[in-house]
């Protein structure tokens, strides 16, 4: 636990001052609540002795002060703690992003499956809980409980010992039980996740299940999953009840103990009756300090699990690094080449490419074909230096890419196609991604060359039209053309298109490839595809299978593979 907290602090140091102020305010609010009951007890017991009203005035002022101060402190504390929480979220996101950035995409390959990436980003938010639950409540409890014990020690040391023991017990045993329960809740989270998956699958696959007559079976399985979740949830409920009950029981024993000690001392004439009342009410109220601990502990234990998952990822060292003294990139008409390259995504993993040589000479159009999983996209990743080869080398005009700065190399390349991400913003922002200062005229020109400007012109919002998450509001063809326009606007000498015709029907695919090839005239093109559209106009077609080049068809000019 301490290690995770320390790692979290190293990743994103909190705004210490603000955090301390917010914790202090929280402690003030709780202390005022205890003070209110303690002084009220004193006031009443003292009043019962029927002194001059004036002699009660200090107690009356104190009672009123605590009554007013408590809600005020609570109000400011809530604002301060929300401010801290939001600042933390911002800091955590930024540092997480900064650490993640050099890892993408090659070293996050494993996370692209399913929605692990989505879950991981959800986990990032859990990190702020480390501060809000792991630091705040214990510190507030410690400060306030210490103060309460201190005040009661001034009244009656023996009573303070009983109270101190009770508070200590409530602050350790109860949260510990809560912590253990939080562990059990982690199991229930997994069971819930699997039940959701089951339910999604069942709702989505319902037509097929019905057609196969498998409905009743699926319902039975769902019922089993549901019972498992219900069982865990009930067990969790029972257990939460145990912490609540335990807290009350400890309070009762402590208050009774304090009363017994105070009563004994009172008979012995050590303290007067007023102090008995004050001490009793103070003890009763001081358990407010430990109240939030069990829930915080319960939540912290699941937070820690999420946090360590995130930390394990961001603490990785990126394997692709810039050289200490980078060689300048001068070429404006570069030739890229793979020379006997073998590549793998993890040191122990299988080779994705084996002894592959490809030359992308200036102005040539090379197609890379082959079944999915044959290593086509890895070639693109190598050129972009998302990945370094384990054997052989990737060169730019004969020089190893590893001698250059990554950003300098990428300045020569533009990417488009199915893996080119459309962001949930406007068409304009998506097109000028590589070139944020581009004018509307330039954006429109790129859209025209990608043959989609006519359609954009018909939209009521034109360039300001939002494309939805991952471009989900556009059709497949429209998405491809927008990503093509982006690659065109980037004005780079080499263009990599990864499956630009994926998910398109043959007519649309044919039309798109026509437009692509005319728009990219004069540029070096690497076309990655498993379809036939446009292949007849390529200078060379390389076929990859199982990470090796299995055929090399040239149409005049220099060969595509190195000699």
In the list 145, 290, 306, 413, the residue contacting another protein (rule: CB under 8 A) is 413
Stretch of residues binding another protein (CB under 8 A), selected from 231-239, 296-304, 451-459, 519-527: 231-239
Helices (H), 268-375: 273-286, 293-314
In the list 1, 58, 206, 550, the residue contacting another protein (rule: CB under 8 A) is 206
Q: Minimal CA–CA distance to 489: which of 546, 443, 440, 549?
A: 443
Three-state secondary-structure class, residue 296: helix
Confirm or reject binding of residue 284 to another protein (CB under 8 A): yes
Residue with Cβ nearer another protein (309 or 391)? 309
Between residue 365 and residue 384, which ones bind another protein under the rule CB under 8 A?
371-373, 384
φ, ψ dihedrals at 237, nearest 5°: -60, -45
Residue 27: partners with Cβ closer than 8 Å, 6 or more residues away = 139, 140, 143, 144
Q: Minimal CA–CA distance to 174: which of 242, 86, 222?
A: 242
Confirm or reject binding of residue 276 to another protein (CB under 8 A): yes
Between residue 525 and residue 554, which ones bind another protein under the rule CB under 8 A?
530-532
Q: How far is the CB of 456 from another protein (least distance, A)?
A: 20
- Interhelix angle for 215-267 vs 157-204, to 10°? 170
**Which residue is listed with tokens 């009220």?**
40
Q: Minimal CA–CA distance to 523: which of 412, 415, 365, 371?
A: 365
Own/partner pairs, 259-263, CB within 8 angstroms, 24+ separation: 261/156, 261/158, 261/159, 261/162, 262/156, 262/159
Are residues 523 and 493 in contact, defined by beta-carbon separation less than 8 angstroms?
yes
Residue 522 Ramachandran class (φ > 0 left, ψ -120 to 50 alpha, else beta): left
In the list 87, 309, 393, 428, the residue contacting another protein (rule: CB under 8 A) is 87
Confirm or reject binding of residue 196 to another protein (CB under 8 A): yes
In the list 15, 21, 244, 448, the residue contacting another protein (rule: CB under 8 A) is 244
Stretch of residues binding another protein (CB under 8 A), selected from 89-97, 160-168, 175-183, 547-555: 89-97
Confirm or reject binding of residue 512 to another protein (CB under 8 A): no
Residue with Cβ nearer another protein (142 or 169)? 169
Between residue 156 and residue 185, which ones bind another protein under the rule CB under 8 A?
none
Q: How far is the CB of 116 from another protein (least distance, A)?
A: 10
In the list 74, 180, 448, 548, the residue contacting another protein (rule: CB under 8 A) is 74
Helices (H), 415-546: 427-431, 440-449, 453-458, 476-489, 506-519
In the list 222, 305, 351, 511, the residue contacting another protein (rule: CB under 8 A) is 222
Are residues 477 and 508 in contact, defined by beta-carbon separation less than 8 angstroms?
yes
Confirm or reject binding of residue 114 to another protein (CB under 8 A): yes
Q: Is the dihedral of CA 345, 348, 354, 355 positive or negative?
A: positive
Confirm or reject binding of residue 117 to another protein (CB under 8 A): yes
Between residue 456 and residue 475, which ones bind another protein under the rule CB under 8 A?
469-470
Q: How far is the CB of 160 from another protein (least distance, A)?
A: 17
Residue with Cβ nearer another protein (176 or 222)? 222
Confirm or reject binding of residue 249 to another protein (CB under 8 A): yes
Count of residues engaged in binding another protein, rule: CB under 8 A: 145
Residue 8: partners with Cβ closer than 8 Å, 6 or more residues away = 127, 130, 131, 307, 311
Three-state secondary-structure class, residue 390: coil
In the list 1, 3, 58, 248, the residue contacting another protein (rule: CB under 8 A) is 248
Between residue 432 and residue 451, which ones bind another protein under the rule CB under 8 A?
433-434, 436
φ, ψ dihedrals at 116, nearest 5°: -60, -35
Confirm or reject binding of residue 148 to another protein (CB under 8 A): no
Residue with Cβ nearer another protein (249 or 558)? 249
Between residue 27 and residue 56, which ones bind another protein under the rule CB under 8 A?
33, 36-37, 40-41, 43-48, 50-51, 53, 56
Are residues 294 and 156 in contact, defined by beta-carbon separation less than 8 angstroms?
no
Q: How far is the CB of 293 from another protein (least distance, A)?
A: 16
Confirm or reject binding of residue 427 to another protein (CB under 8 A): no
Stretch of residues binding another protein (CB under 8 A), selected from 86-94, 132-140, 170-178, 338-346: 86-94
- Interhelix angle for 116-134 vs 2-11, to 10°? 110
Stretch of residues binding another protein (CB under 8 A), selected from 151-159, 168-176, 194-202, 328-336: 194-202
């Amino acid at each position: 636990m301490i290690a995770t907290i320390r790692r979290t602090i190293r990743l994103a140091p909190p705004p210490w001052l603000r955090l301390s102020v917010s914790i202090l305010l929280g402690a003030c609010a709780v202390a005022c609540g205890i003070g209110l009951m303690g002084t009220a007890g004193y006031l009443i017991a003292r009043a019962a002795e029927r002194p001059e009203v004036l002699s009660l005035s200090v107690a009356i002022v104190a009672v009123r002060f605590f009554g007013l101060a408590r809600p005020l402190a609570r109000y400011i504390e809530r604002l301060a703690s929300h401010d801290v929480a939001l600042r933390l979220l911002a800091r955590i996101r930024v540092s997480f992003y900064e650490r993640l950035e050099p890892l993408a995409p090659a070293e996050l390959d494993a996370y692209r499956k399913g929605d692990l990436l989505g879950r991981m980003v959800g986990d990032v938010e859990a990190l702020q809980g480390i501060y809000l639950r792991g630091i705040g409540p214990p510190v507030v409890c410690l400060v306030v409980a210490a103060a309460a014990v201190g005040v009661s020690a001034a009244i009656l040391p023996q009573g303070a010992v009983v109270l101190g023991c009770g508070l200590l017990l409530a602050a350790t045993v109860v949260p510990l039980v809560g912590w253990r329960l939080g562990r059990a809740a982690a199991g229930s989270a997994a069971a819930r996740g699997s039940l959701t998956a089951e339910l999604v699958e069942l709702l989505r696959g319902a037509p097929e299940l019905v057609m196969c007559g498998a409905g009743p079976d699926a319902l039975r399985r769902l019922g089993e999953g549901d019972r498992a979740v219900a069982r865990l949830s009930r067990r969790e409920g029972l257990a939460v009840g145990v912490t609540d009950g335990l807290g009350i029981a400890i309070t009762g024993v402590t208050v009774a103990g304090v009363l017994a000690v105070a009563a004994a001392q009172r008979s012995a004439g050590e303290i007067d009756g007023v102090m008995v009342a004050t001490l009793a009410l103070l003890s009763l109220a001081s358990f407010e300090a430990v109240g939030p601990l069990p829930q915080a502990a319960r939540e912290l234990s699941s937070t820690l699990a999420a946090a360590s998952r995130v930390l394990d990822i961001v603490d990785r060292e990126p394997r692709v690094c810039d050289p200490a003294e980078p060689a300048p990139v001068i070429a404006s008409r570069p030739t890229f080449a793979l020379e006997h390259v073998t590549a793998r995504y993890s040191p122990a993993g299988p080779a994705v490419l084996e002894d592959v040589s490809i030359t992308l000479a200036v102005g040539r159009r090379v197609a890379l074909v082959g079944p999915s999983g044959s290593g086509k996209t890895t070639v693109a990743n190598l050129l972009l230096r998302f990945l370094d080869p384990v054997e052989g080398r990737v060169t730019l005009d004969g020089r190893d890419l590893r001698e250059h700065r990554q950003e300098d190399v990428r300045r020569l390349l533009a990417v488009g196609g199915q893996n080119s991400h459309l962001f949930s913003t406007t068409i304009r922002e998506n097109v000028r991604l590589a070139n944020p200062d581009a004018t509307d005229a330039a954006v429109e020109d790129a859209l025209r060359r990608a043959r989609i400007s006519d359609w954009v012109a018909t939209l009521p919002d034109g360039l300001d039209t939002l494309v939805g998450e991952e471009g989900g509001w556009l059709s497949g063809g429209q998405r491809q053309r927008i990503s093509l326009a982006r690659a065109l606007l980037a004005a780079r000498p080499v263009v990599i298109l990864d499956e630009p015709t994926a998910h398109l029907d043959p007519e649309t695919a044919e039309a798109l490839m026509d437009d692509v090839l005319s728009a990219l005239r004069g540029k070096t093109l690497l076309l990655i595809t498993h379809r036939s559209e446009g292949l007849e106009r390529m200078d060379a077609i390389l076929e990859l299978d199982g990470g090796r080049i299995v055929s090399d068809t040239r149409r005049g000019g220099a060969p595509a593979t190195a000699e």
